[in-house]
Amino acid sequence: MTVDGEGVLYVADQTGHRVWRLADGAARIVAGQPDPATGEATASVDTSDAVVRAALRYPCGLVVDPAGRLLVADNFHHRIAAVPLTTALSGDTEPVRDEKPRSDGEPEREREPEREREPEREPEPKPEPDRGADSVPTGDGGTASPQPARLLVRQEVGLEVRRGQSELIHVRVSSTDPWAPGRVEHHFTAPTGFVFDGRVTCAYYRADRTVLPGGAPTGTVGNDGRSLVATDEPRLNTPGHPAAALVYTLGVRALSDAEPGRYTDGRAVIAAQPEVRLKASVLGDDED
């Protein structure tokens, strides 16, 4: 959250992929794609579509700079997006310029020419040229989506496991794009001191917090348990299947002779996406 010089509050809606302006008892969207299903209003009927529809993914920080722009940490796109605060004015509010007296004594409002104001409203560059580096390959036998989906992959929580005991690693895959790559392989590497036991399950999570059972992914363990290949046919944000997140749950076991410590050298590669680290700690016999 941040507050501008007029006391207006701006809030980064991280999972809604937008930024809200809270003022005068009203909440308006100043950046990100409005949700037509809920009838959300944009900041102003005069706001540039390029600003309102600027693609944001998981905005996580806001600040107002000295130039009067709202700077947004656009997490998933790895950039800082700048939104002119002039776009946050309500539709029935007009900016008031310095007034100069006219010859007849009546005040006259000085307005900036439209040509001079256009640079303020210039939209941020669209991220499409960078999509190639983040696109999702279909995998063997898969069917490519018309537009490659952008995925966010992360381990949900860290692990602390006693030597010789078993636990579960949860890997979350989320996206705001439709994703149905067909049957693909996911490759996992266990952190040092751990091995996979072959258990693989998955479940889908919807925005309304309901959980849908996943398919039946199959797991193949290799390299003496250090590696696991899970084969699945995932679907996100597709017709009849509105889930936006998929969680894979993998069974692991801490080796009985593992050296206690925290290890961050595990890996998760979802459908040939860039790898994500898996982390886990081996607890000694005298540790809680």
Residue-level pLDDT at 94: 38
Yes or no: say if 4 and 10 are a contact pair by the CB < 8 Å rule. Answer: yes
Alpha-carbon distance 103 to 110, whole Å?
14
Residue-level pLDDT at 260: 93
Walk across the sheet containing 227-232 and list its strands: 160-162, 276-283, 261-270, 184-189, 227-232, 218-222
Yes or no: say if 196 and 147 are a contact pair by the CB < 8 Å rule. Answer: no
pLDDT digits (tens, 9 = 90+) for 21-60: 898 888 888 888 765 555 554 444 344 444 455 678 888 8
Report residue 184: phi and psi, to 5°.
-130, 165
Which tokens hold the place of 221? 């363990």
Which tokens hold the place of 146? 């018309």
pLDDT digits (tens, 9 = 90+) for 250-277: 999 999 999 999 999 999 999 988 899 9
For range 164-173, the mean pLDDT: 93
Q: Is the model more confident about 143 or about 8?
A: 8
Alpha-carbon distance 182 to 103, whole Å?
74
Alpha-carbon distance 34 to 39, whole Å?
8
Cα separations in angstroms, 176 against 10, 80, 165: 22, 19, 37
Report residue 161: phi and psi, to 5°.
-130, 135
Helix and strand numbers, DSSP H then E, in the chain = 3, 20
For range 178-195, the mean pLDDT: 94
Residue-level pLDDT at 13: 86
Helix residue ranges per DSSP H, the chain: 49-52, 114-117, 131-134
Least confident piece of the model among 63-67, 135-139, 192-196:
135-139
The fraction of the chain above a pLDDT of 90, given in percent, is 35
Which tokens hold the place of 125? 């560059």
Alpha-carbon distance 109 to 80, whole Å?
35
Report residue 49: phi and psi, to 5°.
-55, -35
Report residue 119: phi and psi, to 5°.
-60, -30
